[in-house]
Homo-oligomer: A and B are copies of this chain.
Amino acid sequence: MVTTSTATALIGDPYVADCPTRRILDRIGDRWTVLIIGVLGGGDARFSQLLRRIEGISQKMLTQTLRGLERDGLITRTVYPEVPVRVVYSLTTAGRTLLGPLQALQEWSIEHLGDVVASQSAYDKND
């Protein structure tokens, strides 16, 4: 905020640049990330299970997103050296704390999707 800003304590201020929210959003803003966390919130899952449950995700994106989440400490990756190998992904304690905020978002979505869609229709007809 070098620019001449009003004295108003904007909620927007912390959003600029590389504030925490922004860095986290770059991660969880990713559609796949949220979906994966959502699924794992319902219980541990194997790679192939995630691949099947999350409709539309490619194997590449699944791998990539899982790596990112593991790197962030939000999920763990456990390899069972059987034949064939079995790999199980689980939420960490930190990862589980994300479920709350995400559920809030989910509830908002369910509650407002109708209005949003209606608004879109109206917008598209006019203007």
Contact = CB atoms under 8 A, between A and B. Distances in A.
Interface of A: 3, 8-17, 20-26, 28-31, 34-35, 38-43, 52-56, 70-74, 94, 97-101, 103-110, 112-113, 115-116, 118-120, 123-124
A97 B108 contact: yes
Contacts of A8: 42-43
Contact of A15 (B3, B12, B35): B35
Nearest to A124: B71
B41 A11 contact: yes
Contacts of A43: 8, 10
A24 B109 contact: yes
Contact of A120 (B53, B71, B101): B71
Contacts of A73: 115-116, 118-120, 123
A106 B14 contact: yes
Most buried by B among A15, A38, A42, A94: A15
Contacts of A26: 31
